[in-house]
Amino acid sequence: MLNNAVEFIQEIIKDFSPEIGIILGSGLGELADEYCNIAINYSDIPGFEASTVAGHKGRLVFAEINGKKVVMMQGRFHFYEGHSIQKVVFPVKVMKKLGVKTLIITNAAGGVNPNFRPSDLMIITDHINYMGTNPLIGANDNSMGERFPDMSEVYNSELIELVHKVGDSIGVDLQEGVYMALTGPSYETPAEVKMAKIIGADAVGMSTVPEAIVASWAKMNVIGISCICNSAAGVSTVGLSHEDVIKAANTAKDKFKKLVKEVIRKI
Ligand code: HPA
């Protein structure tokens, strides 16, 4: 199935060989509208499925940004949509086979750290997998990665440094911290957010970790950036809604795009 998808895509993109992959999170998909040389709908790609979440398109977009060849996922597959964890990470394996060396994973997240404000951007320094599963369960594809991969440095420290430098140089303030993934789709209870804080999380969300595990396993360099869209439940007294999350992502999207474009230039 993986080879079918890769061959299908390569027939369309010909000799366009992307070196950077970007997974665009909720409300952050505009980058793929701005830069788009070739777009392929997920529903056409063998092994991909259509995205079911409002605010997420479902297509793979190929473009040259600041001199680099990039493939963007405009919309991702979430575990909470009912996709198997293998389906969630399938596009990452495809990107690896297409030649992607560096994967930028973005998401919308809830702020657990009380210093975070809606529309802040957070560089992910590490993660906690609280999804109760792991995308590497099952037969191991030794051609991609090893059976028991080291996860000591999923988010490459030199790249974290680079993102900070880029943020400084273009005047985009950045937070940094640990991202904890839960399955969703319900948001957390205040008690769960309290637990998240106690065990070391700065932000909570429903994505990213499966993709980061697979990318790290396949020896890709990973950059993670969260858009903090709300204070997680109980951190502030305001209730949560998907609409508010999208609104906060919209507020952040210009600085987000600026940051990502500049990071691409510097990679
Ligand atoms: N929790 C989990 N996922 C999220 C949140 C949240 O508060 N905000 C945006 N995505």
Tell me the DSSP string of the chain: -HHHHHHHHHHHHTT---SEEEEE-TT-TTHHHHS-SEEEEGGGSTT-----STT---EEEEEEETTEEEEEEES---GGGT--HHHHHHHHHHHHHHT--EEEEEEEEEE-STT--TTEEEEEEEEEE-SS--TT-SS--TTT--SS---TTSB-HHHHHHHHHHHHHHT--EEEEEEEE---SSPPPHHHHHHHHHTT-SEEESSSHHHHHHHHHTT-EEEEEEEEEEEPBTTBSS---HHHHHHHHHHHHHHHHHHHHHHHHH-
Average pLDDT taken over every residue of the chain: 94
- CB of 206 shorter than 6 A to ligand 1: yes
User: How much is the pLDDT for 54?
Assistant: 60
Identify which of 189, 206, 243 to mutate to test ligand 1's pocket (most ligand atoms within 8 A of the CB): 206
| Ligand 1 atom with least separation from CA of 232 | 7
Quickly state the pLDDT bin for 36 (edges 50, 70, 90): confident
- Is pLDDT of 56 > 70? no
Quickly state the pLDDT bin for 6 (edges 50, 70, 90): very high
User: How large is the average pLDDT for residues 166-190?
Assistant: 97
Residue of the CA atom closest to atom 7 of ligand 1: 110
User: How much is the pLDDT for 182?
Assistant: 98
Tell me which of 128-137, 202-211, 219-228, 236-245 is least confident: 236-245
Residue tagged active-site, from 180, 196, 206, 249: 206
- CB of 229 shorter than 6 A to ligand 1: yes
108 is catalytic: yes
- Is pLDDT of 154 > 70? yes
Quickly state the pLDDT bin for 245 (edges 50, 70, 90): confident
pTM of the model: 0.96
The hierarchical CATH code for the domain 2-266 is 3.40.50.1580
56 is catalytic: yes
pLDDT in tens, 59-113: 999 999 999 999 999 999 999 999 999 999 999 999 999 999 999 999 999 999 9
